[in-house]
Amino acid sequence: MIPRIKKILYATDLSENASYAFGYAVCLANRHDAKITVLHVVEELSFFAQSMIEDIVGAQQLKTMRKEKEEKVIASIKDRLDDFCEGAKRESPNCPFVVEKTMVKTGHPVDQIVRRAEEMEADIIVMGSRGHGMLADVTMGSTSRRVLRRCKKPVLIVRLPEEIGR
C-alpha cells in the first residue's frame, strides 16, 4: 500500500538548515497535494530563570513579553515563507504549496513536535538536522534524534549539505 501524504508537519528552529529542509516539505506537499503546518517551539525558561524574571518585571509583564515574542516569531516565519514562495514562483507560475497553519508553541521541542504531529494527525514530519562530518551519526541533532525515536509518525530528517553549512 502506498501511503497518502496530505498533512505535513514542518518543524523549524528558524536556522539555515531548517530553511533548507522546508524545500523538502514543499516538494512533498507539491507532489502529494498536501498541506503544510509550520511549527516553531520556543523553549521554556527554567523555573529558576522564570522566577527571577517575574521578580524583576512581574508576572503580567512576563506574560506580555512572551506574547510579543510569539507574535515576532510568527511574523518572522511568515516573512521567510513569503520569501521562499517568491523564489518558488520564479520557477513555477503558481506557488506550489499551501501552508495551512503556522504555530508557535512554548515548551520542550521534542514533546511539542510529537504532540502536535499526533493532534493534527500528520502523515509525516519534516525537520532539519545539524550533523556534519565524521561525527554526523553521533551529532545528528539531539532534537531530531529524539523526535525520530519517540514519534510513531514517519520523520524526514534533512541534513544540510556541506557546501551550504560552511
8 Å CB contact between 143 and 131: no
Say if 1 falls within a structural domain. Answer: no
Residue 133's pLDDT is 45
Q: Which domain holds residue 115?
A: 7-165
Residue 144 in domain:
yes
Total domain count, the chain: 1
Q: Is residue 22 part of a domain?
A: yes
Coil/strand/helix, residue 64: helix
Distances (CA, A) of 29 to 25, 37, 75, 123: 6, 11, 22, 11
CATH code (residue 132): 3.40.50.620
Pairing status of strand 7-11 against strand 124-129: parallel
pLDDT at 89: 62
pLDDT at 43: 79
Q: Report the length, in residues, of the chain.
A: 166
Q: What is the pLDDT of residue 137?
A: 45
Tens digit of each residue's pLDDT, the chain (166 residues) = 888 999 999 998 877 777 788 889 988 998 899 999 999 888 777 777 778 778 888 888 888 887 888 788 778 877 877 777 666 666 665 656 678 888 888 889 999 999 999 999 999 999 988 654 444 444 446 888 999 999 999 999 998 776 655 4
Q: What is the pLDDT of residue 1?
A: 81
pTM score of the predicted model: 0.76
Cβ contacts of residue 154 below 8 Å, gap of 6+?
A: 3, 123, 124, 125
Q: What is the pLDDT of residue 52?
A: 79
- CA–chain centroid gap for 65, Å, is 22
Q: What is the pLDDT at residue 87?
A: 66
Is 2 a domain residue? no
In a domain, 125, yes or no: yes
